[in-house]
Amino acid sequence: MKKKETIKASEFSTWEYCPRQWYLSKTIGRRINNSSSRRGVELHNIQSKAVKTVQNEQSRFITATTLTIGGIICILFFLLSR
């Protein structure tokens, strides 16, 4: 990496959130300062929250399915052992 492209600790959250925006701000000094850029960031945040919601729901579904299948297997073993 060139010196301009080194990620500082204070910039890591910006880089992690959107590496392209971080790169553009470091190389050409592009900043979020107009209404269309701010609106784009807002839409980006909305989509990020939607993706996180789906991921959380998938995780909950997998957990619930695993517990349900485990419970059914336990009941079957109990009934078959009688």
Residue 19 pLDDT: 75
- Predicted TM-score of the model (pTM): 0.49
If one counts every other C-beta atom within 10 angstroms of the C-beta of residue 77, the result is 9
Residue 40 pLDDT: 74
Residue 20 pLDDT: 75
What does the pLDDT profile of the chain (82 residues) look like in tens digits? 455 567 777 777 777 777 777 777 777 765 656 676 677 778 878 888 888 999 999 999 999 999 999 999 999 999 999 8
User: Measuring CA to CA, how many Å separate 24 from each of 6, 13, 39?
Assistant: 13, 15, 18
